[in-house]
Each structure stands twice: as structure tokens, then as C-alpha cells.
Structure 1
């Protein structure tokens, strides 16, 4: 059974740039984003649900240290009790301190390979990097090792 995931804009923008946004649709039952992520990414797909986080105090508090999209996405993940796709290091650290289950874009690509949605991770990582998506060398090496590529 697939899962519902909350997404931040970085993953959406990166996958859209390389024409692989469909991976999210195939990998997850539901992809949910907050309004600020929709605004930041500019991505409107009928299979991506937009939901407003209800805890405005939490959103406000998170905005003191994170950008608006990350703050709303984390608040939404807390509200729904769902895993979240985050790539920004500070946002990931905040989400983990809040006991959220966090995955990054690279981790999601590994999950997609394991699920048979994509054949290889390496070409997509290289394509993301060519399109201004930063992936640190240690992460890239570890991902390729896990993917056996």
C-alpha cells in the first residue's frame, strides 16, 4: 500500500525541471502541499492536493527560522502525521526535532527505484544537478552505493 506524503517546493521544482514530476504521482497515493508551496513552485496538478495547515501559531513560529513554504509544509506534516519531503538541511533538522519522518528528493528517488518506478537513480541525479539542484558529494556517493550504481 502506498502512502500519503507532504512535499516542499524544492522536490517539486527539481522534478518538474527534469520532466519527472510523475514519479511522485506513481510513488505515493496522495501528494499534499500547503498553499505557500503551491505559490513558490507554481506547480498546479490535479493529483497534488493543496491544504492549509490549521495551526497558525506553529506556522508563525516556524517562519521565524525557515522560509514560508517549509514552515507551512512542516506544520501540515505535523497536523496530518505524515512523512515529509524536505531537502533544506535546517528544515530537515527542525522537522526531525519535531519527530517527523523526513525523506529528501534523493531518498525518494531511491524509493522509486526500489519500487520499480525508475530503472536507475544516477541519470536523474545527474540531470537534477545540471538543472541547478544541489546534491552534496557525500550524499551522492551514498545514494549511488545504496542503488548499486
Structure 2
């Protein structure tokens, strides 16, 4: 379990987890859940008190990263550059590739759900995938099969 880690969460992850009733999983899985003021504003809902909202110190880094990814992702990636021993949860493929190219540890919302299953925080991942499919978050049928296989559910 990554419960000794500080994780930085992008807005899309918050949105998806909230839509499927799984936002509390972050608090159960990780020591500290952090986001930026930009992401909190993008999320537009009140975040739980266990989520830390932190400003990025190097504002120029955000501006530089915005040439590649959007403001929220830029702020998350910039913050991940400032916090030691962290990883970042981003779902946008371009942003994930960019963050990885900077040497950051990256996972997506599905990776969080898989980790929850692997650490017995949830019993099965399939009900969460079923709920996700009812949102505007798209997962291919092929990927669903791979996720269920990884989770030992098929």
C-alpha cells in the first residue's frame, strides 16, 4: 500500500471518484492527498477537509507547462516537482506522458481503484467500473477486460 505517500490529484480524478461514490478511497489509501488551488477551482465543489490545497511556489513552471497541458494539469505537475516522494494521479494521456517524461511517478484513476482492490480497501473493482461507464469517462472494452484480469476478477 502507498499509505506512506503524498499523492497529488488532478481535477478529473476527483470528478470521476465523486461521481462513482469513491472519493473517500483516497483518504483510506494515502497518507496525504494534495491538490492545487487551480485544481480546487476547476473542481468547483467543496473538497473534503482531509484534502490539502497547496499553492505551487514556482509559478513560472506552471506557465511553462501550460504550453503542453492545461492549467490544472500544469499546476499538478509543477507541484509534483516541488514535493519529494510524491506521485501524481492524472487521467489525460498527454499530461501523463509529459509528467512521466519529467521523471514523475504517475497513475490514473483506474490505477487508484486497482490499488484499492489489491490492498483490500474494496472487495471488487467491477462495480466501480460499471459506474464509471455510466459517466463521460471512457474506458475501452479491451481495457476493462485487462483491468478485471489484473484485479483477479475474471
Residue among 38, 43, 46 paired with 2:40: 38
Distance in 2 (CA, whole Å) between partners of 1:138 and 1:9 is: 25
Residue among 96, 105, 110 paired with 2:114: 110
Query: 2:8 aligns to what SS in structure 1?
Result: strand
More helix as a share of residues = 1
Displacement of 1:133 in angstroms is: 1.5
Query: 2:21 aligns to what SS in structure 1?
Result: coil
Residue among 41, 56, 68 paired with 1:53: 56
Q: List structure 1 runs of 4+ shifted beyond 6 angstroms.
A: none
Residue among 115, 126, 143 paired with 1:139: 143
Distance in 2 (CA, whole Å) between partners of 1:12 and 1:66 is: 18
Q: Do structure 1's residue 87 and structure 2's residue 123 form an aligned pair?
A: no
RMSD of Structure 2 on Structure 1 (CA): 1.2
TM, length-normalised to structure 1: 0.95
TM, length-normalised to structure 2: 0.92
Distance in 1 (CA, whole Å) between partners of 2:125 and 2:108 is: 14
Unaligned runs of 5+ in 1: none
Unaligned runs of 5+ in 2: none
